[in-house]
Amino acid sequence: MVEKISTGNPYNSICRDPYLLSILRKEINGDLVITEKDDVQKFVVLSKGFLDLEGQPKSSGYCLVQCIDGVCNIHSVEEFRRKLEEITKKHANGNYMDVDPVLVAKAFSQDALAFIDSYNSLQKRKPVRLYTFG
């Protein structure tokens, strides 16, 4: 459920180059452009794009990545869900299938893991992908 990535500062890495870490890959996520970021809460919204049959750039959805320097607990999950709701309303007219949520943290508490596991199996939405770093 949780993958490990080797970086000391995932937020800076993603802001510098979204493909730098193994979280986002060009061949899967398409052309990524940062549309929104918050250096305090350390979240970034990336627009996924592709070229249509006429060669025009088109959006295929969004990625929301939040990086937590410490342990991600149930309250961090709550805040992340609040942000996910806000971004989904703002960019995707409430369609959760249009937003890929990603949480990166030093570690995850057991209750946070249990809730996300339930969320991913119960909600017909893009699952929350989890990564640890450091």
Distance CA 40, CA 52 (A): 36
Instruction: Write down the least CB distance from residue 97 to other proteins, Å.
Output: 8
Report which residue type is found at 74: I
- Tell me which residues touch other proteins (CB under 8 A): 74, 77-78, 81-82, 85, 89, 93-96, 115, 118, 121-125
Contact 76, 52 (CB under 8 A): no
CB nearer to other proteins: give 21 or 99.
99
User: How far apart are alpha carbons 116 and 28 in whole angstroms?
Assistant: 23
Least Å from the CB of residue 54 to other proteins: 27
DSSP string, 45-92: EEEEEEE-TTS-EEEEEEEEEEEEEEEE-HHHHHHHHHHHHHHHHHHH
Residue 40: enclosing H or E segment and its boundaries? none
- CB of 30 vs other proteins, minimal distance in Å: 23
Q: Which is nearer to other proteins, 37 or 81 (CB)?
A: 81
Q: How far is the CB of 90 from other proteins (least distance, A)?
A: 9
